[in-house]
Structure formats: C-alpha cells, structure tokens
Structure 1
Amino acid sequence: MRTLVLNAGYEPLAVVSFKRAIVLVMNEKATVVEHVVGDPVWGTSGSYDRPAVIILTRYVRVPGGRHVPVTRRGVLRRDGHRCAYCGKAASTIDHVQPRSRGGKDTWENLVACCLRCNNVKGDRTPQEMSWSLRLTPAPPRGAQWTVRGTERADPRWEPYLALAA
C-alpha cells in the first residue's frame, strides 16, 4: 500500500509506504487527508487507519526546479514505448544527433527506437537517412513526472495530483 505525501501547500511531493506515512502522522509531522476504509493497522496502543493521502504540517522547500533526470526508462515511457521513426514497439533509445557527432544525453536528443531502426540508422542523422521523427522530443511534463512513484497512481490521488498539474 502506497501513500501520497502532499506539501503544506497541497503540492504533491512523493509517494511513500504506508509505514512511513504512519510514522510521519504519529510524530505529528503530517495529518491524514484521506485513509483506506476497513483495513486498519494494529499497534500496541490501538489501531490506526491506513493513510491514502497525507499532508505535511510544515512547508518543505524543494530545492531546484524539479528537473526530471534523463533515463532510458524515462525516454521509453515518454514516447509510449513506440519507435520515433517507424512507430513499432521500441526497446532501445536512439540519439537523434549521434554522440559521435557531439550529440548529448538530453530529453531533446533522445527518442525511443526499435532495434531495427537503431541498427539501420547507425551514426547518421535522420536527415541523412531521409527519415522524419514521428514526434518532437521534449522534456516530459505533468505531475506524474515530478512526483516520484505516481506511475501507478491510486484513483484516490487524482484530485490531489490535478492540483499540481
């Protein structure tokens, strides 16, 4: 069971285990906004409802601009596991501007690619191959990218994640 943690300003921060959420609530660092009905946690001093959403009592300043790091898994997820050149199922990533020609590992230069297209393209650019990209690579946006762990979001979290988008 996972719990959504909201900042004091209702900004989604992270998804934690229900055990961590209960510790935050018991230490009065958070309060329960919504809980799971009918599945309590038993402790030595009584039973507690499992929190589904908690809000921190004090505002936590998040350093930086919530930059989403570039990962292979992230690129595949952003592109829907579809090849940027032919549209088939993608299992690899490709540098639009090849690394051998100064291409960097950035969201704007990486796309999901099937193995066949990746091998055929090699270290050439799409223009040299007379290929076109089916999408324009860009950094991902939205609450599911900035809040760690919301890939498998609980339906109870939807109103809270919508506030951040």
Structure 2
Amino acid sequence: MGRKVLVLNQDYSALSICSVPKAFLLVYLNKAELVAESEQFTLRTVNDEFPMPSVIRLHRYVSLPYKGVMLTRQNIFKRDSHRCQYCGTPEDLTLDHVLPKSRGGKTSWDNLITACKRCNSRKGDFTPEEANMKLRQKPFKPTFLVFLRDFSGSLEQSWMPFLSKREKVFD
C-alpha cells in the first residue's frame, strides 16, 4: 500500500504527507478527522470496510516555526525531475555546484543542480557559461507548498484545494 495521504493542520493548511496506515490510525484514534476519501479504494478488514483516507485534518494545531524543504540529494533530484540539467539524461546522476566550491560556490538550493557524471566532468571547475554548457532551468529553492504540490510524486485530485492556497505563508 504505497498510497499517500495529505495531512492538514487544524487551520486546514498543508502540514505533511503520510502513509495510509498512519492516517487511518490518526482518524481511528480520534486525533484527526477524515476530510476527503479515495474514490477508488477502501480499507477492508475481515468484518468491516472503511473509507481510505486521502486528506485528513488534525484536531490539535501543530506549531511549526519553520516549514521549509530540507536540502538533500534526493530533494535536489526531485526538483530537477531526476534529469541532468545540462543534457537531460536520467543516467548516472550526481550533484554539481553551478559556481564551483573551489571558487566560492555555496552548497545551497540556488547553486546545486542534478548533473550526469559525464557533464559534471566536462564542466569541471568552470561555470556553465565558461564551459559553454547551457542549463535547462535555473536552480531555485522550492517553497514547502510548491514541493508538496509539484515534487511529491503522485497527487490526488482531492489535495488540490489545499495545495493551491497562497504560498507566501511558507517562505
């Protein structure tokens, strides 16, 4: 059961994504309420049938001082659609600093991209302009909401009303 459930805070703001068993448990223990259920799937036991959660809302407000996307290798790959940002291949991927570290480049969302080993070696210790290599897209730091909406894999249609709200809250 690899399906995911959108978890909303008490104020209906997107908080996280969790597994179906975790979401069902939160609803069953009365820690959350079912906001939307899957139209295609149900959860079955020997004696009962339950709606499969798609969106749940916590009964208590969870205060998160910073709601950002962690800078990790996998999150960079997700942002860049698991493609080399120079040639577009999905093979032999690694990370590349647009401005090389040896020249003062930082390890940040705005300076890291996904690159295949071949292009990364070809670029070497140069900037893309100096190596005459064009970036497919400029690196950027995704907001929490954008990351949930665009890079979390498959999205349920029932999530969209909660993921299309104003993003400025999460910056």
Question: The TM-score by the shorter chain falls in which range?
Answer: 0.7 to 0.9
- Could you tell me which runs of 5 or more consecutive residues in structure 1 were left unpaired when the two chains were aligned: none
Aligned mates of 2:18, 2:107 — CA distance in 1 = 30
Shift of 1:162: 2.0
Letter in 2 for 1:80: S
TM-score (norm 1): 0.79
Change (3 A) 1:73 1:110: same
Q: How does 1:8-19 map to 2 (within 5 A)?
A: 8-19=10-21
Shift of 1:142: 5.7
- Could you tell me which runs of 5 or more consecutive residues in structure 2 were left unpaired when the two chains were aligned: none
Letter in 2 for 1:88: G
Give the aligned partner of residue 27 of structure 2.
Answer: 25
Letter in 2 for 1:159: P
Aligned mates of 1:29, 1:154 — CA distance in 2 = 22
Give the aligned partner of residue 9 of structure 2.
Answer: 7
Q: How many residues align?
A: 161
Change (3 A) 1:3 1:43: farther
Shift of 1:156: 2.5
The counterpart of 2:44, out of the listed 41, 45, 52, is: 41
Change (3 A) 1:4 1:104: same
Aligned mates of 1:21, 1:107 — CA distance in 2 = 31
Conservation of the 8 A alpha-carbon contact between 2:102 and 2:125? yes
Q: Larger C-alpha radius of gyration, 1 or 2? A: 1
Give the aligned partner of residue 77 of structure 1.
Answer: 78
Percent identity (aligned): 37
Change (3 A) 1:29 1:122: same
Aligned mates of 1:161, 1:151 — CA distance in 2 = 14
Conservation of the 8 A alpha-carbon contact between 2:68 and 2:143? no
Indicate the structure whose relative CO is greater, using CA pairs within 8 Å and at least 6 residues apart: 1
> Match of 1:53, SS?
strand
Shift of 1:6: 0.8
Give the aligned partner of residue 68 of structure 2.
Answer: 67
Aligned mates of 1:117, 1:95 — CA distance in 2 = 12
Conservation of the 8 A alpha-carbon contact between 1:11 and 1:164? no
TM-score (norm 2): 0.76
Letter in 1 for 2:25: V
Conservation of the 8 A alpha-carbon contact between 1:33 and 1:53? yes
Change (3 A) 1:84 1:26: closer
Letter in 1 for 2:18: V
Shift of 1:118: 0.9
Conservation of the 8 A alpha-carbon contact between 1:144 and 1:151? no
Aligned mates of 1:8, 1:61 — CA distance in 2 = 10
Post-superposition CA distance 1:57-76 (Å, at most 9, x none):
12111121x22122222223
The counterpart of 1:50, out of the listed 32, 52, 71, is: 52
Give the aligned partner of residue 126 of structure 1.
Answer: 128
